């Protein structure tokens, strides 16, 4: 049995390495070389990137989830994590496979993250933007409308779902940027060395970065909204678009992968601008970790399991609920607690539970 788990562990680690290497290579070709290549080569690179982002990524999520479940086991102490994995599989099948086939649009994943994470939907509303000019010949008016409708649907699901179920819905069930990797490949992250808990000084740095990245993202969002409204505004829209694109490739895509290799899976979640906004909505939803379902034995397993370095143990000692802006609702602490004193809760989920009882 232990030998089988070692094999599964190595396969899972190999898949994550392949995913990262392919992503860097193909993304580099798509964003860096395709614009200078011949039309035939550029078309092939675009197809390759879309095939990788949709089919290969979904395949890795399915296989990786299966391997992770095998590694962590199927006991009652892995209930919430299994729900996370099922959610990511369903999310990938919808966003990367089903809807792109139905709408004949292989780039719909751009529209699966609400504002202020990316302004791609706003850019698509501006006829002079490079994204609109490159998309219109392929999608047409109907295709552009369908993509925007899809975006509104996704945003509505995330907004309403967060108000009902807290940040857990997006960050630990639907997010196909960083959330999926942190759950699907959790047993093998970091790829190099051992799992490193973030110390308080680094957490303070991340706290500053959180507000900085939120400010930057809100700036891009407001900039494009003002442009669409026809308000005179300084700056060149092509330059703004390029800057945001470079921001995504460097401080988000590349840095997120760096965290997977060297530190923790949830590294980017510490300063994700969408996650910050959803944490506010989570507070409105009453998101919390209950710590009084039984008697805490102060074993510290909850703190070891938490990927966001939240001191759950201190609250559990006094029986106080954990309400923290960093909490992504992954439920790792809930699963890890040997005496089941912890529970994830929102006002809505608590109301549902009371109704059932």
Dihedral sign for Cα 197, 200, 201, 202, please. Answer: positive
Strands (E) in 5-148, as ranges, are: none
74-98 tens-digit pLDDT: 666 789 999 999 999 999 999 999 9
Which residues on adjacent β-strands are paired with residue 345? 288
Check residue 322 and give its pLDDT. Answer: 95
In the predicted structure, residue 139 carries a pLDDT above the cut 60: yes
Q: Return the pLDDT at 353.
A: 80
* Whole-angstrom distance, CA of residue 176 vs CA of residue 158: 13
Domain boundary among 251, 279, 307: 279
The residue-averaged pLDDT of 285-308 equals: 93
In the predicted structure, residue 245 carries a pLDDT above the cut 80 = yes
Alpha helix positions (H), 29-94: 39-51, 57-72, 79-92
Shared domain for 157 and 73, answered yes or no, is yes
pLDDT band at 194, cuts 50/70/90?
Answer: confident
Residue 191 shares a structural domain with residue 72: yes
Q: How far is CA 77 from each of CA 74, 165, 190, 341, rounded to the nearest angstrom?
A: 8, 21, 22, 12
User: Could you tell me the CA-to-CA distances from 137 to 96, 99, 103, 106, 131 in Å, in that order?
Assistant: 22, 20, 15, 14, 11
Alpha-carbon radius of gyration of the chain: 21
Among residues 279, 306, 340, the one where a domain terminates is 279
Residue 165 in this model has a pLDDT that exceeds 80: yes
> 């962590």: which residue's tokens?
72
Q: Are residues 233 and 328 in the same domain?
A: no
The percentage of residues in the chain with a pLDDT greater than 90, rounded to a whole number, is: 68
Is the pLDDT higher at 238 or at 3? 238
Q: What are phi and psi of 340, to 5 degrees?
A: 55, 45
Question: How far apart are the C-alpha atoms of 240 and 244, rounded to whole Å?
Answer: 6
pLDDT at residue 241 in the model: 87
User: pLDDT tens across 322-356, in order?
Assistant: 999 999 999 999 999 999 999 999 999 888 887 77
Is the Cβ–Cβ distance between 256 and 268 less than 8 Å?
A: yes
Same domain for 299 and 173: no
Please indicate, yes or no, whether residues 16 and 105 belong to a single structural domain of this protein: yes
User: Residue for token digits 């143990």?
Assistant: 313
pLDDT of res. 75? 64
Residue 304 and residue 259 share a domain: no
Between CA 21 and CA 15 the distance in angstroms is 10
Mean pLDDT of the chain: 91
pLDDT at 164: 95
Question: For 221-249, what is the mean pLDDT?
Answer: 86
Ramachandran assignment for 280, one of left (phi > 0), alpha (psi -120 to 50 degrees), beta (any other): alpha
Q: For residue 168, give Cα distances in angstroms to 39, 107, 188, 199, 234.
A: 43, 25, 22, 24, 38
Q: Looking at residue 297, which CATH number applies to its domain?
A: 3.30.70.20
Number of domains in the chain: 2
The predicted model gives 239-260 an average pLDDT of 88
- Residue 185 burial by CB count (10 A; 0-12/13-18/19+): exposed, middle or buried? buried
Residues 92-108: what's their mean pLDDT? 93
* 193 torsion bin: left (phi>0), alpha (psi -120 to 50), beta (else): left
pLDDT above 60: residue 1: no
Domain enclosing residue 107, as ranges: 2-279
Verify that 193 and 313 share a domain, yes or no: no
pLDDT at 74: 65
Q: Are 233 and 227 in contact (CB under 8 A)?
A: yes
pLDDT for 231: 83
| pLDDT for 5 beyond 80 | no
Distance CA(96)–CA(244), nearest Å, equals 23
**Same-domain check for residues 229 and 80:** yes
Residues 303-321: what's their mean pLDDT?
93
* 198 lies in the same domain as 347: no
pTM: 0.92
- pLDDT higher than 80, residue 248: yes
Query: Residue 31's pLDDT is what?
Result: 82
Same domain, residue pair 156 and 72: yes
Output the six-digit token pair for 104. 């004949």
Q: What is the pLDDT of residue 328?
A: 96
Higher pLDDT, 251 or 221: 221
Residues 234 and 341 in one domain: no
Residue 89 in 3-state DSSP? helix
When mean pLDDT is compared across 208-212, 225-229, 234-238, the lowest value belongs to: 234-238
Q: Indicate the residue among 279, 304, 330 that finishes a domain.
A: 279
Q: Do 290 and 243 lie in a common domain?
A: no
Mean pLDDT score, 228-251: 85
pLDDT at 239: 87
What confidence tens digit (pLDDT) does each residue in 25-73 have?
Answer: 998 888 888 878 888 898 899 899 999 999 999 999 999 999 999 998 7
């Amino acid at each position: 049995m232990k030998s089988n788990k070692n094999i599964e562990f190595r396969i899972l680690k190999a898949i994550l390495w392949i995913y990262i290497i392919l992503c860097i290579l193909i993304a580099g070709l798509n964003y860096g070389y395709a614009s200078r290549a011949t039309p035939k080569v550029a078309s092939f690179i675009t197809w390759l990137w879309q095939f990788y982002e949709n089919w290969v990524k979904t395949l890795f999520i399915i296989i990786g989830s299966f391997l992770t479940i095998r590694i962590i086991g199927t006991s009652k102490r892995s209930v919430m994590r299994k729900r996370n994995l099922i959610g990511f599989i369903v999310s990938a099948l919808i966003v990367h496979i089903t809807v792109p086939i139905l709408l004949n649009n292989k780039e719909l994943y751009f529209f699966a993250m609400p504002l202020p994470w990316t302004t791609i939907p706003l850019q698509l509303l501006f006829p002079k933007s490079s994204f609109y000019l490159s998309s219109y010949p392929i999608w047409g008016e109907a295709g552009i409308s369908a993509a925007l409708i899809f975006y509104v649907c996704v945003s509505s699901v995330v907004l309403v779902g967060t108000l009902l179920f807290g940040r857990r819905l997006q960050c630990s069930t639907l997010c196909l940027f960083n959330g999926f990797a942190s759950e699907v490949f959790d047993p093998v992250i970091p790829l190099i060395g051992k799992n490193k808990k973030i110390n308080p000084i680094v957490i303070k740095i991340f706290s500053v970065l959180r507000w900085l990245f939120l400010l930057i993202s809100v700036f891009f969002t407001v900039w494009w909204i003002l442009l669409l409204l026809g308000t005179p505004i300084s700056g060149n829209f092509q330059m703004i678009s390029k800057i945001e694109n470079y921001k995504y490739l460097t401080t988000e895509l590349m840095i997120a992968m760096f965290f997977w290799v060297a530190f923790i899976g949830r590294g980017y979640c510490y300063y994700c601008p969408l996650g910050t906004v959803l944490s506010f909505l989570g507070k409105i939803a009453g998101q919390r970790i209950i710590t009084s379902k039984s008697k805490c034995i102060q074993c510290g397993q909850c703190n070891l399991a938490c990927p966001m370095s939240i001191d759950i143990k201190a609250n559990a000692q006094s029986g106080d609920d954990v309400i923290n802006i960093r909490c992504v609702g992954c439920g790792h602490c809930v699963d890890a607690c040997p005496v089941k004193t912890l529970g994830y809760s929102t006002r809505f989920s608590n109301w549902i539970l009371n109704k059932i009882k």
